[in-house]
Amino acid sequence: MTVNLTLLVLMGALFAIGIYLLLERSLTRVLLGIILISNAVNLLLLQSGGRAGDSPLVVDGDVGADFFDPLPQALLLTAIVIAFALVSLMLALIYRSWVLARQDEVSDDEEDRRVASQPVYDPEEDSEVPTETTEFVTEDQQAERLLNPRSGRDEDLPDPPAAVAGEDAAESSDPERGR
């Protein structure tokens, strides 16, 4: 497969100029950047197809190596349709921006600037984590709670059930048997 150096340089220039235009504040320039990048992608897909060959039809006696790969053509058509949809969306946004504000530049949002100037607080990183984070209690910890129910971290926990505190489970669950 031979690669055309001129098309590669043109593709690189289209990508560079398109990315530069995408970083502008004017929606018209963003639209032009999207168009240039989509054309650069089309050139990339065209180059990935390789040289021209025979059509991929099965005929007796033809060798498979001379066939042209149809996949890059299908990808190229898909890229054209996606670029058309994206350009249509951008044109609608530009039109709506012009109707509402008579400008096509994206202005700064004061609320975004206010939020960006606030100190950063991440609740996952900045909050205190208790030393023991398990919800499960071992038998030793259960025995310690029975002996001393108000010690340590147990102040935050509810009182142990009556069956654990020493009463018979059957008496506490059946009120008529306990009389």
Task: Read off the CATH number of the domain in which 81 is found.
Answer: 1.10.287.3510
Q: Answer yes or no: do 167 and 85 share one domain.
A: no
- Phi-psi bin for 49: left (phi > 0), alpha (psi -120 to 50), beta? alpha
Give me the number of domains the chain comprises: 2
Q: Answer yes or no: do 39 and 87 share one domain.
A: yes
With a CB cutoff of 8 Å and minimum separation 6, the contacts of 104 are 26, 27, 28, 94, 97, 98
Q: Answer yes or no: do 10 and 93 share one domain.
A: yes
Which residue, 107, 127, 153, sits at the end of a domain? 107
Instruction: Examine residue 37 and state whether it is found in any structural domain, yes or no.
Output: yes
Judge whether 36 and 18 are in contact, CB under 8 Å: yes
**What is the Cβ-side half-sphere exposure of residue 107, based on CA atoms within 13 angstroms?**
8
Q: Answer yes or no: do 80 and 143 share one domain.
A: no
153 token code pair: 């971290």
Q: Answer yes or no: do 21 and 74 share one domain.
A: yes
Instruction: Examine residue 58 and state whether it is found in any structural domain, yes or no.
Output: no
Q: Answer yes or no: do 24 and 73 share one domain.
A: yes
Q: Give the pLDDT confidence score for residue 149 in this predicted structure.
A: 64
Query: Digits of tens for pLDDT over the chain (179 positions)?
Result: 567 888 889 999 999 999 999 998 888 999 999 999 999 999 988 888 777 666 666 667 666 666 677 788 889 999 999 999 999 999 999 999 888 888 888 877 888 888 888 877 777 777 776 666 666 777 777 777 777 766 555 455 555 555 544 555 545 555 555 44
The domain in which residue 167 lies consists of 139-171
* 48 vs 3: CA distance, rounded Å: 9
Q: Give the pLDDT confidence score for residue 54 in this predicted structure.
A: 65
* 74 vs 53: CA distance, rounded Å: 16
Q: What letter does residue 67 receive in the DSSP assignment?
A: B
Instruction: Examine residue 155 and state whether it is found in any structural domain, yes or no.
Output: yes
**Burial of 114 from C-beta contacts in 10 A (0-12 / 13-18 / 19+):** exposed
Instruction: Examine residue 100 and state whether it is found in any structural domain, yes or no.
Output: yes
Q: Give the pLDDT confidence score for residue 92 in this predicted structure.
A: 93
Instruction: Examine residue 20 and state whether it is found in any structural domain, yes or no.
Output: yes
Q: Answer yes or no: do 165 and 81 share one domain.
A: no
Q: Answer yes or no: do 95 and 165 share one domain.
A: no
Q: Give the pLDDT confidence score for residue 144 in this predicted structure.
A: 77
**Burial of 37 from C-beta contacts in 10 A (0-12 / 13-18 / 19+):** buried
Q: Give the pLDDT confidence score for residue 154 in this predicted structure.
A: 45
Q: Answer yes or no: do 100 and 147 share one domain.
A: no
Instruction: Examine residue 60 and state whether it is found in any structural domain, yes or no.
Output: no
* 99 vs 138: CA distance, rounded Å: 68
* 46 vs 34: CA distance, rounded Å: 18
Q: Answer yes or no: do 75 and 144 share one domain.
A: no
